[in-house]
Amino acid sequence: MFERLFGSQPINLLEKALTGSSLRHKVISNNIANINTPGYKRMEVSFEEELAAVEQRETRKSGIALTHPKHLAPPQKVPPSNQIRTIENTSLRTDGNNVDIDAEMAAMTKNNIFYNTVAQRINGYYTNIKTAIKGG
């Protein structure tokens, strides 16, 4: 029972989303910190593909019947968790640095909104459990 409440599909997905968003925040902060470093190449984090794969895997484990091959996508190889990649193919300045402060600040804002939304969903999930336990 304990595992069903705290290891459920929604919580597993939300936990991975928070972890990925936290890593993305660190990478964006590192990009901003290196804005004046000659030759520095910006990095980015990709975790949305993994979230989709985890969601797909959890849906299969939940016992949903496959009545037609096109109802659910075929199994896919799950990419490594929270991929960090360096963007090498661009240069904004003559010193080789490719960090655009406006783009990084926009990415930071978008990531903050995403993180806060996921945190609110987790809070709502546990608030619902608490309400159910209290009999409300």
List Cα–Cα distances, 123 to 116, 130, 135, in angstroms. Answer: 10, 10, 18
Angle in degrees, 0-180, between the axes of helices 9-33 and 48-61, rounded to the nearest 10: 170
Residue-level pLDDT at 91: 78
Q: Count of domains in the chain?
A: 1
SS3 assignment for 12-50 = HHHHHHHHHHHHHHHHHHHHHHCCCCCCCCCEEEECHHH
The model's pTM is: 0.72
Q: DSSP characters for 102-130?
A: HHHHHHHHHHHHHHHHHHHHHHHHHHHHH
Which pair of structure tokens corresponds to residue 119?
Answer: 């945190």
Give the pLDDT of the chain (136 residues) as one tens digit per residue. Answer: 555 556 677 788 888 889 999 999 999 999 999 999 999 999 999 877 776 776 676 666 655 555 666 555 444 434 445 688 999 988 778 899 999 999 999 999 999 999 999 999 999 998 988 898 888 6
Residue with tokens 């037609």: 68
Range of the domain at 54: 2-134
